[in-house]
Structure formats: structure tokens, C-alpha cells
Structure 1
Amino acid sequence: MEKVKAKKHLGQHFLKDESIAKDIADTLNLVGYEDVLEIGPGMGVLTKYMLDKPINTYVIEIDEESVTYLDANYPKLKDRIISKDFLRYDINEVFAGKQFAIIGNFPYNISTQIVFKALEYR
């Protein structure tokens, strides 16, 4: 499948620098949780580094084109791709009662809302 084109109306900006993606993935301390939710994985530049770690990686993506790309290119994510809008999704559907980390290269236009939603869940 071809690369996904960024959609301005979704505020998408795809991470392209592999060393930054690896550095972001390496911020996970892996203490007290086994599950990680990546918000807005796009084409999985960050995701691939998380899949190498001893954790259960889940991704949530609003863009159907990106979901199709992830499904085709990351078989390790089978049944762990959530095709929803994070801001409208009930995190308890997957993580009820569990400790988990949130990671991502967040869209600038909703980063504050993402933080508040995460704090609300906490």
C-alpha cells in the first residue's frame, strides 16, 4: 500500500525522523504497566519501535486510510487497532481497571484535549 497523505482537517503531521521516533519510544519506563496506547500512529513510524518492546501496544487512529495502512503493514497489531476518535472513545472498553501508558506524536490542534482526557480517565 502507498503512503498515507496527511489530512489538514485532521491536523495530521507525520513523524518522519526515525531517531526521534526511537527516542520517543524509549521514554517508556515499562514500570507498573504492560499496555501502551499510541494516539494517532499515522503510518506507524513510532509504532514499530514500540512493537519491539515487551509491552502490549494498542493504537487508536481516526483516519481510515491510516488504519488500512497499519493493518496491512503491522500484523503484530492484529486486534489492537482501534479505529475511533480518541476524544470520543471510552478508554474503558480496552483498559478498564488497568494501568497503561499513553504515547504519541500528537496533533498540535488537540494536544491539550488529549491531556485533559487522559487526566479524566486517571
Structure 2
Amino acid sequence: MSALERVPAKKSLGQHFLTDGNIARKIVDSAGFAREDIVIEIGPGLGALTELLIGRARRVIGVELDRALAEKLREKFPSEQLQIIEADILKVDIEELARELGAAGESRFRIIANLPYNISTPAIQHLINFRNYISDMTLMLQKEVVQRIVARPGGKEYGLLSVIVQYYCAVEKLFDVPPGAFRPAPKVYSSVVRLAVRERAAVDVIDEEIFFLVIKSAFAQRRKTLLNNLKGLSRRINLKRAQQGLREIGIDPGRRAETLSLAEFARLANFFAGEGAVPRIR
């Protein structure tokens, strides 16, 4: 057993190290990396993916929060192609990293990650904020989170995360990963998902700020109807006008948010934007 493999998992960091070589190869193969790619690996852990990435990409940047793991990774993989950054991915400025490495325009970063369950959603949101510098993401997440990401309208998994991710990315669930592929084994299954950043958003909206205010309000209380969730959104449009407006754009005010498609959320947001009804955040 190597020094890297002897590093214990830290429960405080939500660490579950991928140790199954077949699964590691399947993940890297599914990402389809090319020799000219610059890959950011989030949470390299024991290096199961790192070892495979070094031979396939032009450059690999591993972002590892655990200092002991970062040191051991540098020792195990003394390659010029690999750079280990000891940092919290939620605090990494990917735009600055892109400027340093020249990864912009047609040469954007490709992301691969085995994300700790406890930071999955904020990590995805953080990456999406830097979407102009990322071409795609191959992520291993808790199965339940992947189900929410790829969910379609009408199901209980469909929610705010589904809408936000699908607005910016084309999503595809690839396969499930059993608990036995990790050390220590988690209590639940994981899944691998691909998020391909769209060249333009999935739907056209007049004002993105209003669009996100609307969807957050719509999903605020899932048991409530759209009208009840949205009526507190604006101080400048009365309930009767809101009901009338929803019907004008073909949306029943009695529906619930989880039944609306992206296109319908766009129509809803554009209605509020056109009415000048939503207070702006300054």
C-alpha cells in the first residue's frame, strides 16, 4: 500500500475515496478527453482518476482541500502535466485561473469531479457561475442529486436545482456507482452525470435576474400554487392582475411550480419583466 493510500478519510470533509479502478476508467472514458484538453479535477483524493487523466489530457489541475492528500499526490505523480492546488473549490476563482493558463474562448476548461455530498449543490452553482470558462463537467454525485438535476417537469425530483442547471447546461445521467467502489463506503449510491455548458441559455428571457427571482419564489413552498407563491414577489402588481396575466400567457394560476417547463418559466418571468412588477436587487 502506497503512502497516499494510507491517508485516512476525513469525515469532516465528507471524503469517500474512489478505489475501484474499473469505475475510474469508465468515468474517464465517458468524459472523452482529448490530448489538447486542460482538465480541472476537483477532489482528486487518492488519485484514481488523476493517474488516468495525466496520460490523456495536455494539463491536469487538481483542486484538493486536504493538505495531506495534496502533498502525497504531488509525491506520487511528479508529472509536469499535473498541478495540485491546495484549495476549497468554492473559493477558487476559475476566471483568474483561466487567465493564468490561457484557457478561454475555444480552449475552455473541462471539469471532472468526485464531489463530497455535502458541497454538491454549492459546487455546481459555483462552477456554473464560471460557465464562460468551462466547456463541460463530468461529475460523480449522490444519486439523489443527479436525479434532481436531470428531472423533468411533473416529478417530485424536479425543482429549483433542475431549472437552474438545465437553463445553462444540457444534462445527461451516465451511470450509477455502488457504495463498494469507495473507501469508506457511503450509505447510498452515487451517479455520474455530464453537464455540457450551452452556448446560449435553453430559453430566452428578458431579464435573468427576474427569471431567477421568479423560479426561486415559485418553488419556495412546493405545496402552494404558483399564484400563492408569486403573490408576494411584487409590491406593484395586484393579485387580480397576476391571475389575469398568468392566464394570458397560458399558465393556470392554480398549477404548482414542479409542473412548469423551462419555456413556461421563461414566459412567466417575461410577463413580470414586461409589467415592471418585480423589485430589482441593487
Instruction: Give the TM-score of the pair, scaled to structure 2.
Output: 0.40
Asked if the contact 1:4/1:42 (under 8 Å) is kept, the reply is: no
Instruction: Give the TM-score of the pair, scaled to structure 1.
Output: 0.89
Asked if the contact 1:58/1:77 (under 8 Å) is kept, the reply is: no
Unaligned stretches of 5+ residues in structure 1: none
Structure with the larger RCO, 1 or 2 (CA within 8 Å, 6+ apart): 1
Measure how far apart 1:26 and its partner are. Answer: 1.2
The answer to whether residue 47 in structure 2 is matched with residue 38 in structure 1 is no
- 2:7 is matched with 4
- Distance in 1 between residues matched to 2:69 and 2:42, nearest whole Å: 12
Change (3 A) 1:68 1:107: same
Change (3 A) 1:17 1:79: closer
Q: Give 1:94-113 correspondences, 5 Å limit.
A: 94-96=97-99, 98=104, 99-113=108-122
Asked if the contact 1:40/1:60 (under 8 Å) is kept, the reply is: yes
- Distance in 2 between residues matched to 1:17 and 1:68, nearest whole Å: 22
Percent identical pairs in the alignment equals: 38
- CA deviation profile, 1:39-90 (whole Å, cap 9, x unmatched): 0001101110111104311100000010011011001157611111000111
1:53 aligns to what SS in structure 2? coil
Question: Which stretch shows the higher mean deviation, 107-116 or 95-104?
Answer: 95-104
- 1:48 is matched with 51
Asked if the contact 1:57/1:77 (under 8 Å) is kept, the reply is: no
Q: Give RMSD over aligned pairs.
A: 1.8
- Distance in 1 between residues matched to 2:82 and 2:25, nearest whole Å: 24
- 1:66 is matched with 69
- 1:26 is matched with 29
How many residues are treated as equivalent by the alignment? 121
- 2:20 is matched with 17
Unaligned stretches of 5+ residues in structure 2: 132-282
Change (3 A) 1:68 1:77: farther
Letter in 2 for 1:118: L
Change (3 A) 1:54 1:85: closer
Letter in 2 for 1:121: F
2:122 aligns to what SS in structure 1? helix
- Distance in 2 between residues matched to 1:51 and 1:86, nearest whole Å: 20
Measure how far apart 1:27 and its partner are. Answer: 2.0
By percentage of residues, which structure has more strand? 2
Q: Give 1:82-121 correspondences, 5 Å limit.
A: 82-96=85-99, 98=104, 99-121=108-130
